[in-house]
Amino acid sequence: MSHLLFKTIFIFLLLSFHLSFHQTEASIFHHFLVAIFNNLPNNDVPLTVHCQSRDDDLGYHNLTVGQSFNFTFRENIFWRTVFYCHFWWHPKETSFDVFNKGQRCIKHGPYYSHNCIWVAFSDVFTLNGTEASIFHRFLVAIFNNLPNNDIPLTLHCQSDDKDLGYHNLTVGQSFNFTFHEDIIWKTVFYCRFWWHPKEIEFDVFNNGQRCIKHGPIYSHDCIWEAGIRPKFLVSIFSSLPNNNVPLTVHCQSRDDDLGFHNITVGQSYNFTFYENFFWRTVFFCHFWWHPKEISFDVFNKGQKCIKKGPVYSHDCIWIAELDGFTLNGVKEHDW
């Protein structure tokens, strides 16, 4: 009996959830269409397409000239859907996001549209009639921002069919080149760098939307800087009134737990670290000064310590006072 009651309630709950879901659905979901047309020259090679999202694999499709492959989906209000497709038109191949942004299909898409009409031509893809200009002309700039030590930065950049030669850059100099990327045709530029005794080689361009796969931003300017990774200092100084209660601090990053430290009045607790190229380091600290406590990021942004930090500095000097915390002289947090 009780089992049956439970079942009934469960079904009722399920039904009512379902109903309310459908009631709100209309206002929060948008319908999108992605269409991929084959407008390639007729050469007996089909355009093979394989599209996927995180959750859906739409399978492989062969399109003859004039054919299209379409799919529709509903985007939720969080605009998190990403569909990417891999294209083969022997011997060429490429892959890119065909949808990663509500309203414009892709970031920097040409129009506000819920119809994402992609057309494959022999040398370019268009989105909704516009040559996807974000893929078109690219600049690679390589700056020598190394310390001055009489050794030039020597570099040698190449693609499969171009050799850009050897170049020596003195400090402050840059070496630039531009090229046209046709997004079907996979351009890769790689460079070898020498700064005696160091030497390294990597791709400076291998992705039409972000310069390199997993590059930090959508851009067709690929600005590389050779430098020494900047070293940052975080210093936490207690300027609290002397009342026998120490300031206890516990700082962590994603990878490092710096442990618990008690700072007496007039003392400081410091740590230093090297920030990586992608500026992704975050350090957050928890502070206790009985009965008060607070936690916040003490570092989450290269150059200014924190987003909207008061000054450009590699030294992040936090001072704990009776009424809160200052960063490099500017009040940032109340207790």
Ligand X SMILES: *[C@@H]1O[C@H](CO)[C@@H](O)[C@H](O)[C@H]1NC(C)=O
302 binds ligand X (CB under 6 A): no
12 binds ligand X (CB under 6 A): no
Site for ligand X in 252-271 (CB under 6 A): 260-262, 268, 270
CB of 255 to ligand X, least distance (A): 21
- Contact predicate 151/195, CB 8 Å: yes
The closest alpha carbon to 305, from 284, 321, 322, 335, belongs to: 284
Using the rule CB under 6 A, which residue among 38, 81, 94, 128 binds ligand X?
128
62 binds ligand X (CB under 6 A): yes
60 binds ligand X (CB under 6 A): yes
CB of 91 to ligand X, least distance (A): 12
197 binds ligand X (CB under 6 A): no
Please give the size of the binding site for ligand X, defined by CB under 6 A.
29
Identify residue 195 by its one-letter amino acid code.
W
CB of 48 to ligand X, least distance (A): 5
CB of 201 to ligand X, least distance (A): 17
Using the rule CB under 6 A, which residue among 246, 302, 310, 324 binds ligand X?
246
Q: Is 55 or 150 the residue whose CB approaches ligand X more closely?
A: 150
Q: Is 1 or 258 the residue whose CB approaches ligand X more closely?
A: 258
CA 80 vs. chain centroid, Å, equals: 14
Q: Is 20 or 171 the residue whose CB approaches ligand X more closely?
A: 171
* DSSP assignment string, 80-117: ---EEEEEEETTEEEEEEEE-BTTTBSTT-SS--SEEE
Q: What is the SS3 assignment for 191?
A: strand
Q: What are all long-range contacts of 95-99, with beta carbons under 8 Å and residues at least 24 apart?
A: 96/125, 96/183, 96/208, 96/209, 97/209, 98/34, 98/36, 98/51, 99/32, 99/34
CB of 98 to ligand X, least distance (A): 13
Q: Is 215 exposed, middle or buried (0-12, 13-18, 19+ CB in 10 A)?
A: middle
Identify residue 313 by its one-letter amino acid code.
S
171 binds ligand X (CB under 6 A): no
- Contact predicate 34/6, CB 8 Å: no
293 binds ligand X (CB under 6 A): no
Spell out, one character per residue from 84 to 123, where the chain touches ligand X: x when CB under 6 A holds, - when not: ---------------------------x-x-x-x------
Spell out, one character per residue from 134 to 163, where the chain touches ligand X: x when CB under 6 A holds, - when not: -------x----------x-x---------
CB of 21 to ligand X, least distance (A): 28
Strand 115-120 and strand 30-38: pairing? parallel
Q: What is the dihedral of CA 55, 59, 65, 71, to 10 degrees?
A: -40
CB of 119 to ligand X, least distance (A): 9
Say how far apart CA 155 and CA 295 lie, in whole Å.
Answer: 45
Contacts of 144 (CB under 8 A, 6+ apart): 152, 153, 169, 170, 171, 172, 173, 174, 226
Say how far apart CA 83 and CA 99 lie, in whole Å.
Answer: 5
* Interacting residues with ligand X (CB under 6 A): 35, 46, 48, 60, 62, 68, 70, 111, 113, 115, 117, 128-129, 141, 152, 154, 166, 168, 174, 176, 235, 246, 248, 260-262, 268, 270, 317
